[in-house]
Amino acid sequence: MKFFIDTADLEEIREAHDMGVLDGVTTNPSLMKKASQRAGRRLDFHQHIFDICELVDGDVSAEVTGVTYAAIMEEAKALAAIHSNVVVKVPLILDGIKAINSLSKLGIKVNCTLCFSPTQALIAAKAGATYISPFLGRVDDMSADGMQLLQEVVTIYANYGLETQILAASIRHPVHVVKSALMGAHVATMPLGVIKKLLLHPLTDRGLKQFLTDWDQYKQTPR
Ligand code: E4P
């Protein structure tokens, strides 16, 4: 399973990159706003995406904000021209699906975002999306089951050998990651906090403490 970080914050991306387990980045307009607020100024979108691409050797999703076919196509081409790592993020709306179809024919990689149903995922794959992003946490927020959505997408894609990669998004905690991996999602995109939590286990901490204490006592034992 590939690990993407879900942020536009360069410091967070650097920290995850330094762990050596980062395969890519997903951003969205809200994350750009957050990174700009943290920087105390409006970050230049295209320059910022370029900076992320220079940092991470992997797919970097950059989202369009146009909602008509023409606007999506224009923005998508400009975003794809920034760097070869760019994957254009397109919302799962009618004009988005039309644009995904055209972009895939042009060889531009697309992450189809805001997926909340298996039928949406099926249409995105038929249109030629490189990635489909089911939003697990946001489905859970509606008292529904994000993991059930993911399972349905996995099954449908497997039934027809669809090549679109499944990118589990809106991940809120490690159980989302475990279940996504068990279901065979190709990618999980997570905030830095969740990536760090994947490491945690109190028995590891307790075991290490005990080993280090015992090692000290071993070294003090006379030969
Ligand atoms: C995915 O690409 C989205 O940026 C993201 O996962 C949305 O997550 P959220 O529901 O926590 O905002």
Closest by CA position to 3, among listed 187, 200, 184: 187
φ, ψ of residue 18 in degrees (nearest 5): -65, -20
DSSP string computed for 19-55 = HT---EEE--HHHHHHHHHHHTS---HHHHHHHHHHH
Mean pLDDT, to the nearest integer, of 8-18? 98
Sorting pLDDT into bands at 50, 70 and 90, what band is 202? very high
- Give the distance (Å) from ligand 1 centre to CA of residue 172: 9
The residue whose C-alpha atom lies closest to atom 9 belonging to ligand 1 is 170
User: Helices 146-160 and 118-127 sit at what angle, rounded to 10 degrees?
Assistant: 40
**Ligand 1: which atom is nearest the Cα of residue 137?**
10
Q: For residue range 161-179, what is the model confidence (pLDDT) as tens digits?
A: 999 999 999 999 999 999 9
Mean pLDDT, to the nearest integer, of 10-39? 98
Task: Give the predicted TM-score (pTM) of the model.
Answer: 0.96
Q: For residue range 94-137, what is the model confidence (pLDDT) as tens digits?
A: 999 999 999 999 999 999 999 999 999 999 999 999 999 999 99
Mean pLDDT, to the nearest integer, of 56-78? 98
Sorting pLDDT into bands at 50, 70 and 90, what band is 206? very high
Pairwise CA distance, residues 195 & 199, whole Å = 8
Give the model's pLDDT for residue 65.
Answer: 98
**Ligand 1: which atom is nearest the Cα of residue 27?**
4
For residue 57, the SS3 value is coil
Burial zone of 26 (CB within 10 Å; 0-12 exposed, 13-18 middle, 19+ buried): buried
**Ligand 1: which atom is nearest the Cα of residue 189?**
6
Task: Indicate the top mutation candidate among 4, 189, 190, 194 to test ligand 1's pocket, ranked by most ligand atoms within 8 A of CB.
Answer: 189
Ligand 1 and 34: CB distance under 6 A: no
Lookup result for tokens 């945690």: 200
